[in-house]
Amino acid sequence: MQRVIGLLWVKLEVLVRGDIMRRTESLDVEQSWQNSLPMPMPNQPVCATELNLIEQLDKLSISPRVFLWTDSERRCGQGWEFLASVRQGVPPQGIEAELFAWCEQYPKAWLVVDLRDGVIPPSTARPLADVLSSIGRQVIVMVSSASNNSEWPNWQLPL
């Protein structure tokens, strides 16, 4: 008897709600960010190609002091200052400690992280995204091609 009542209840529910099933198609998810950010914000890194980065910095009404966190001082251009992202004999914890010391020494400076093709990425003990999101600084990740980056939104001023 309970089984019959249960089946009647299911049939009644189908009649009331309809016999439409939810679609179970997979969503078409893109791997990159859909929208850019208009300005680098502390703890929210953005990415840009070198050319785009130079153009965006030129559009700013301020001229921030910029440090390039890269593997070689010869990669610095545009009047940017050098901050070593790797150093022979220095463990990842030491590189992170140098970054945090830099943060204290230059509280208003911006950090450009060099992740272009052919550059040795920064040596860090924690995942790079975690490090960059925790330093309380404007961070721009410089990449060879912005379309290949999925971790950070592109930097694009609305001007």
What is the structure's pLDDT at 59?
87
Helices (H) and strands (E) in the chain, counts: 4, 5
Domain that holds residue 82: 37-148
- The C-alpha atoms of residue 135 and residue 137 are separated, in whole angstroms, by 5
Within-domain flag for 98 = yes
In a domain, 6, yes or no: no
pTM of the model: 0.74
Q: Which residues contact 66 (CB under 8 A, 6 or more apart)?
A: 57, 78, 79, 80, 81, 109, 110, 111, 112
State the average pLDDT over residues 33-45.
Answer: 70
Of 108, 111, 133, the closest CA to residue 43 belongs to 133
What's the confidence (pLDDT) of residue 94? 95
With bands split at pLDDT 50, 70 and 90, how would you rate the model's confidence at 77? Answer: confident
Beta pairing partners, 34: none
What total of structural domains would you count in the chain?
1
Q: How confident is the model at residue 38, as a pLDDT?
A: 63
Instruction: Specify whether the CB–CB gap between 106 and 138 falls below 8 A.
Output: no
Does 72 map to a domain?
Answer: yes
Report the mean per-residue pLDDT for the chain: 81
> What is the mean pLDDT of the segment spanning 24-28?
51
**Cβ atoms within 10 Å of 156's Cβ, excluding its own:** 17
